Structure 1
Amino acid sequence: MKRQPLDDSFKVNRNPVTLREIVLDKLRSAIISFQLLPGDRLVERDLCDRLGVSRTSVREALRHLESEGLVEFADAKGPRVAIITLEDARDIYELRCVLEGLIVQLFTLNAKAKDIRALEKALEENRKALEEGELQQVIDSVQGFYDVLLEGSGNQVAATQLRQLQARISYLRATSVSQENRRGASNQEMEKIVAAIKSGDPLAAHQACVDHVRAAAKVALDYLRAKHSDSSKIREIATPIALKEPRIGH
């Protein structure tokens, strides 16, 4: 991945009510958009100067990012941007296959007409973002697509589990869609998910979703393997079995 420059937009405009959230969002975005790379040391004094905030705000944000898996306090040298291993990435994609496959099935069964219209709009936003080529905009548009699916699925527990992984999912998503051979394919796969949902076929929607996640996983894992010169073999991602009727009580 190519390091992107930190520009003036990285500095925080002070607002006491939301300062902690702003600092957190700035740091998270800098990591996900490769302005801060895996293994980079996160020196509090430097971050305070760049962000224009106190050490307390930076320290709180770093601890929160540690809970999200984007920052690690590995040794006495202090925090650094977390390095996601091949095994970590595989496990995240594997869990995505299970949870997102279920979410898409439930959305197909439970979504109202307005939910499907919102999903089509989110798909179009993703297409526009891909054309414009801004990485953060692409990531945000994909997340917008999934937000519609999560909301319309009717299973808030599964949605919560996915949101707890959201930071690392976004980082891996950025890793995959930043590859030229992935961007167009990603939107086409999302189109297949929407088409299956509109046809009212939950099993086809599940399969389209799993195919989408597995395709993204291959690109991201191949990239991470090459970047770290890691020739070791890891267990393949398991393919979840779709339930013909995922709703309990029907």
Structure 2
Amino acid sequence: MDQPTASGAAGDDGFKVARFAAPLRHGVVESIRTAIALGRFRAGERLPERTLCDLTGVSRTLVREALRQLESEGLVTVLPHRGPIVAGLTPEQAEGIYEVRCELEGLASLLFAQRADGAARVALHAALEGLKSASLATDPIAWLTAKTQFYDDLIAGSGNAAVGQSLHLLNCRITVLRATSLEAPGRAEQSIAELAALVEALMARDGVAAREAARHHVRMAASVAIANLRRSQEGAE
């Protein structure tokens, strides 16, 4: 199985924002977030407005609004005399975020097993198949889109919007770690196997097994991301 990698992006055209997106600002936010997740911009790197306008194909006003949104999420920091940069994370901060994410995704999975109706179960199974298909391509944007769809369906089936909102904020904060995770050899295949085990437990309505499968998936993702973060910081010293 070929693994989508951050370096495998087919140029910057994939970050252009569709004009029919509603609302358009949401599309700009998602495009910049994806660019960061794929390593187009790394932690500590400046985010020049003109570069972002060219990248997304939208106006400077929309880019500024998107940057304010990303700043409120903790993904972007605005420094005096430098402007907006991609916010960095220490290994300790990342560990704390993953600890909370572990519990929230476990809870979401438990609730899904207890509450999801037939339509939600069909949607999640289809999302897993979409993720498998995306892993066969070399387009990392397709992989991230499929992963987002999977979690959107998981949260929808859990029936708890507060869990989804909390997870969204946590995942925004660790977006900067996704590029190195995507580049980890074999991680895509491992991730799919972990999520397949989760879906199997969810389809069986086994809340206990589903919760543990979700927590295991997050722990594995954390181990890769934090190890890569430590290596990158050691290399920069």
Query: TM range, normalised to the smaller chain?
Result: 0.7 to 0.9
CA deviation digits over 1:77-135, x for unaligned, max 9?
A: 21111112212211221111111101101111111222222111111111111111321
Q: Larger relative CO (CA 8 A, sep 6+): 1 or 2? A: 2
Q: Please provide the CA RMSD for this pair.
A: 2.5
**CA 77–61 in structure 1, closer or farther in 2 if over 3 Å, else same:** same
Q: Secondary structure at the match of 1:84?
A: coil
Q: Which has the larger radius of gyration?
A: 1
TM-score with structure 2 length normalisation?
Answer: 0.85
What's the counterpart of residue 109 of structure 1?
114
Cα distance change of structure 1 residues 113 and 169 upon mapping to structure 2, 3 Å threshold: farther
> Which has the larger displacement, 102-111 or 69-78?
69-78
Match of 2:189 among 184, 187, 190: 184
- Unaligned stretches of 5+ in structure 1? 231-250
**Aligned equivalent of 1:158, options 150, 155, 163:** 163
The residue aligned with 2:85 is 80
1:97 maps to 2:95: no
Instruction: Return 5+ residue gaps in structure 2 as ranges.
Output: 1-5
Cα gap change, 1:54 to 1:111, in 2 (>3 Å): closer
User: What is the letter of the counterpart of residue 136 of structure 2?
Assistant: E
Output aligned runs, 1:1-250, within 5 Å.
Answer: 6-11=11-16, 18-229=23-234
If the length of structure 1 is used for normalisation, what is the TM-score? 0.81
| Secondary structure of the corresponding residue to residue 46 of structure 2 | coil
Task: Rate the CA distance shift 1:74–1:96 in 2: closer, same or farther, 3 A.
Answer: same
Counterpart Cα distance in 1 of 2:55 and 2:147 = 29
- Asked if 2 retains the 8 angstrom alpha-carbon contact of 1:106 and 1:154, the reply is yes
CA distance 1:55–1:90, shift in 2 (3 Å):
same
AA in 1 matched with 2:132: R
The corresponding residue for 1:248 is: none
C-alpha displacement at 1:164, in angstroms?
2.6
- C-alpha displacement of 1:224: 0.6
Identity across matched positions, percent:
43
CA contact (8 A) 1:97 1:210 kept: yes
Q: How many residues of Structure 1 are paired with residues of Structure 2 in the alignment?
A: 230
* Matched AA of 1:210: R
| Aligned mates of 1:115, 1:77 — CA distance in 2 | 46
Distance 2:176 2:233 in 1: 16
Bigger mean CA deviation after superposition, 1-10 or 187-196: 1-10
Question: C-alpha separation between the residues in 2 aligned to 1:59 and 1:15?
Answer: 20
